[in-house]
Amino acid sequence: MTTATMQWGGGGGGCCAAVANAAASIVAGLADCVVVFRSLTQGQYGRFGQAGNISTISGERAYLMPYGVLAPPQRFAMRVQRYMHEHGVRQEAMQAIALASYHHAQSNPRAVMFGKPLDPAKYNASRWIAEPFHLYDCCMENDGAAAIILVPEERARDFRNKPAYILGAAAGAGYRSGAIPHNSPHYASASFETLAPALYRMARIEPSDVDAVQSYENFTGGVVMALAEHGFFEPEEANDFLTLDNLVAPSGRLPLNTSGGNLAECYVHGFELVIEAVRQIRGQSVNQVERNDVAMVIGGPMVTPASNLLLGSGATL
The helix/strand/coil state of 154 is helix
Q: Are 266 and 142 in contact (CB under 8 A)?
A: yes
Strand locations in 173-211 (E): none
Catalytic site residue 267?
A: yes
Among residues 123, 136, 200, 267, the one annotated as catalytic is 267
Q: What are the backbone angles phi and psi of residue 228, rounded to the nearest 5°?
A: -65, -40
**Three-state secondary-structure class, residue 147:** strand
* Sheet containing 165-172: order of strands: 165-172, 306-312, 294-299, 212-215
Closest residue by Cα to residue 310 from 301, 299, 297 = 297
Number of neighbours of residue 6 by Cβ within 10 angstroms: 15
Active site residue 83: no
- Measured CA to CA, the distance from residue 282 to residue 236 in angstroms comes to 34
- 280 with 292: CB under 8 angstroms? yes
Task: Spot the catalytic one: 102, 123, 200, 216.
Answer: 216
Which residues are known catalytic residues?
Answer: 216, 267
